[in-house]
Amino acid sequence: MIRPFQLRDSFLLQKLGRQSAPLQIEQHLLRPQWPLWMALGAPVPWYGSGRATFLSRRSNDSPVSEGFVQASKRPGRPEADVCYIAPRLGQNAAETKTWQALLEYLIAQAGDSGVQRLYACVPSQDNAAPVLASCGFVRYVRETLFRLQSPRIAPFPPADTHVRPQREQDSWAFQRLTDQHTPPVVQRAEGAIAKNNEATDHLVFQTWWQPEHIRGIVYEQDEEIVAAIRIHRGRAGHWLHFVGDPTASKVTDALIAHSIRTLQNSERPIYCSVRPYQNALGPALRNEAFEPVTELSRFVKYNTIRTREPARNKPRILVETSFPGIISTDANTTVTTMKNKVA
């Protein structure tokens, strides 16, 4: 049986939390959360903090064992991230069945709450990847994760006068950079396409859990922003997100150096994920002593949502991509909206 977390489940969740696996690597590396405290802060699923915790209990007539799955909504967006799940996967088939049952239950509950997209991010070679795929999650991009473990010892080059902090009015510039340098399949998967003449603030993407710890740095040339880096600070590490032309070495070098200078007093590791269409960033990161540590895969699950409207034709995302490492989310995948006919 699977049901929402209740206060009486605290002891069980505390035990299962020690056996849990993270399904959102960026959050886990920067700001790891203890599942029990996340659950206690959200007694009603999806409300308040936007978190939801569901537990499975062992029963004689079900192959599903004890476990839990936890997710958190992104503020102001019809999206949520799958954060933790337990037990960890091993060679036992029952663990796989438990994962599948928990994920399918989560998907259904998220759809009932209006969540249109669910996200997960795991190491590409992890056993979690095929289980996510079996539950309808689609891998839409791979990333090489670089890490700078030690603080810089060599002196920094002189500060580039073209680099400045990001301002609120830069949102349109971020949208333009994303349109120019991000494949449409990735934009669609991440909901990064502006609608109704509204610019989307890309400093908020994938940073829903602690948006106050975000800082943007832009490279402005001839009154035009040509590239930017978002710095996501965490108590356990920091993460750099680059947007722009990665082949413009002077620009990328200046932004990366400025980012490291900004974090030079921190003893925490600095991470930067590089997607296949950003491969030119690799040499620039290595020049600053970053080292590749693993490959990540980002997944999206397009969800069904219930609305009280007459049934209409199913919309379909049609995406073509020639970028290596970018997976079309339209490969036999239809984004559907469940419509309940009004009597």
- Residue-wise pLDDT for 322-342, tens only, equals 455 666 554 444 333 333 433
Mean pLDDT of 15-20: 94
- The answer to whether residue 321 sits within a structural domain is no
- The answer to whether residue 309 sits within a structural domain is no
- The answer to whether residue 325 sits within a structural domain is no
User: Within this chain, do residues 212 and 259 fall inside the same structural domain, yes or no?
Assistant: yes
User: Within this chain, do residues 131 and 162 fall inside the same structural domain, yes or no?
Assistant: no
Q: Which domain range does residue 13 map to?
A: 2-136
User: Within this chain, do residues 203 and 126 fall inside the same structural domain, yes or no?
Assistant: no
- The answer to whether residue 18 sits within a structural domain is yes
User: Within this chain, do residues 61 and 174 fall inside the same structural domain, yes or no?
Assistant: no
Q: Write down the pLDDT at residue 264.
A: 82
Q: How far apart are CA 98 and CA 103, in angstroms?
A: 8
The share of the chain scoring above pLDDT 70, in percent, equals: 79
Between these two residues, 322 and 276, which has the higher pLDDT value? 276
- Indicate if the alpha-carbon torsion angle 194, 198, 203, 208 is positive or negative: negative
pLDDT tens column, 288-332? 999 999 999 999 999 876 655 554 554 443 334 445 566 655 444
User: Within this chain, do residues 162 and 116 fall inside the same structural domain, yes or no?
Assistant: no
Between these two residues, 320 and 87, which has the higher pLDDT value? 87
CATH code, 255: 3.40.630.30
User: Within this chain, do residues 113 and 76 fall inside the same structural domain, yes or no?
Assistant: yes
Q: 69-73: list long-range contacts, CB under 8 Å, 24+ apart.
A: 69/102, 69/103, 69/105, 69/106, 70/35, 70/38, 70/39, 71/106, 71/110, 71/118, 72/38, 72/208, 72/209, 73/46, 73/115, 73/208
- The answer to whether residue 42 sits within a structural domain is yes
User: Within this chain, do residues 154 and 226 fall inside the same structural domain, yes or no?
Assistant: yes
- Indicate if the alpha-carbon torsion angle 64, 1, 105, 48 is positive or negative: negative
Burial class (CB in 10 A: 0-12, 13-18, 19+), 241: buried
Phi first, then psi: what are they for 158, rounded to 5°?
A: -55, 145
* Domain count along the chain: 2
Residue finishing a domain among 70, 103, 136: 136
Look at residues 31, 38, 139 and name the one whose alpha carbon lies nearest to residue 86: 38
User: Within this chain, do residues 221 and 291 fall inside the same structural domain, yes or no?
Assistant: yes
Query: What does the mean pLDDT of the chain come to?
Result: 83
Q: How far is CA 193 from CA 84, 94, 190, 206, in A?
A: 28, 40, 8, 15
Mean pLDDT of 158-163: 78
User: Within this chain, do residues 54 and 183 fall inside the same structural domain, yes or no?
Assistant: no
Q: Write down the pLDDT at residue 312.
A: 55
Do the Cβ atoms of 101 and 56 come closer than 8 Å? yes
Mean pLDDT of 55-61: 81
The pTM (predicted TM-score) of the whole model is 0.82
List of residues 6+ apart from 194 with CB closer than 8 A: 175, 200
49 CB neighbour count, 10 Å cutoff = 15
User: Within this chain, do residues 79 and 153 fall inside the same structural domain, yes or no?
Assistant: no
Look at residues 61, 103, 73 and name the one whose alpha carbon lies nearest to residue 86: 103
Q: Write down the pLDDT at residue 306.
A: 60
